[in-house]
Structure 1
């Protein structure tokens, strides 16, 4: 009993008539608030299948039925339902108590072979609706729809493929094989389906290519990340950057005497490209190392601007060649690439 209530009680004892003590609890909270209300609900599964067409059951005639498994739940007909019912590719499951659930969906053939599958989880607190994409059994369980646009360096803030001068877009994921696509396939509202992928983070690269006859020139480039999840395709759009190129070679000098790689004993040359626009090293402060006889080195995917080119090489017994005190600033022009036959020569001198 708090002090205020105790004082009122003692006053009642001295009064000639009875009294009622009312505590309005104005001294602050004294109790833990009740937990928020939770509600049972129905769970609607709507399923699709990747590939051609709209992903409807009609587009995958090999799938007759879909089996749903939810641990701890007994479902009607063993959880097996027609792929499509009254034009709806899905089913409504009724009366789930509030809580967390996991599920597995399997697309069954006419011989009850599992040919598509997906899995995931959901939480019931009222009615829930789940859109699930089943992928072929044995394949990774995620994929993505990707599209691209172009940096507005052509007089248009959102150039078309024709305005950007791009015929094809080459795409690869996780340093895999390049796939060549027509540019218009992924521009605007158009999207391209990726290969099946393991859920998680992936590296994706795009090269916008200008093709005239047999001559191909990279005009745009983008390297980025693509995050996918199991059972639900993601949509991702990327803006490709205008790029140009650089080609560099080197000569080794001991005083005024030019030496070959063999004469100097140098086996490797390290190149540091310093982007003067944003003040960073393109390939990190460690640079990239090449064989001494590999020149010229061609860089295709550089943002336009000026780059300081620093090289260093070491020979036997601590012999060191570099151009650090005379490093040139070379310009990369938009849409202009260089080749192994069109390069700048940088002199490295023994220190």
Structure 2
């Protein structure tokens, strides 16, 4: 009975066999659309220098409870796998009506140009799991390279290199192009490096913009309004004949001030020490109240304004000051993450 099989699950090998001309690549579980049976297919790769004509393996399939469903040998015969070729994905080593949870494989013997090679003496080396790229960076990398399979961080290890598609290429293979996705090793790595650098620059530019907005919002609270400060300085210069008109602040002589004037000025003087220290006289700033006829005029905005009226500018400044710190923290975290990926993975 003919039926079609659809992919249920796929898992890459988490090890490679050091020195072996044949490497186990992945296991796939396919489900029949008529019977619902599960077919187990294994994919291998010829990483040697000679054509591969046959391969004998030993496999063991288990269910979710760890019970062995099948344990047997399988012979891939009449092969013509050239160096770098994948094979075995079209051959089901086992078909089960029970869900398969895990598959174990052992390589037994390979036939290179008809010559048998014992593979049981080669030791396995466990590989690190491929690290997945952030979705936005992966999408950009796929668009730049035209390869939709690139979802991982390309890595170099002492045993070989990982392509951005997740495929591992051992040193025995000596390949510069991925045999699974077709991606060029150097081009993919250079493209990802460029993308990360662009992301870092964008994050820094955004940080500068946030700092500029935050600084502009904090400016009115930290410094007097320029127009109000200029007006106060001009009034101080006119009131004090002894002071030169060009001085930005007017000098105040405490000996000539009345008690009422002292009380009024001390309301604005920090810590009440503005006029008590003779050494600080040159640095003091004299404050002036509005004239009686100017009570109906618009209040002056600045550091020394008395009224409690709140304007739309004040509300906007408070909102910016409130939200700037969390936004800055998020941007800093992004910069740190991009820097870590760049310096510890790509560099």
The reply to whether TM is greater than 0.5 is no
Larger helix proportion of the pair = 2
Computing the radius of gyration over CA atoms, which structure comes out larger, 1 or 2?
A: 2
Higher strand share: 1
Query: Taking structure 1 as the reference length, what is the TM-score of the superposition?
Result: 0.22
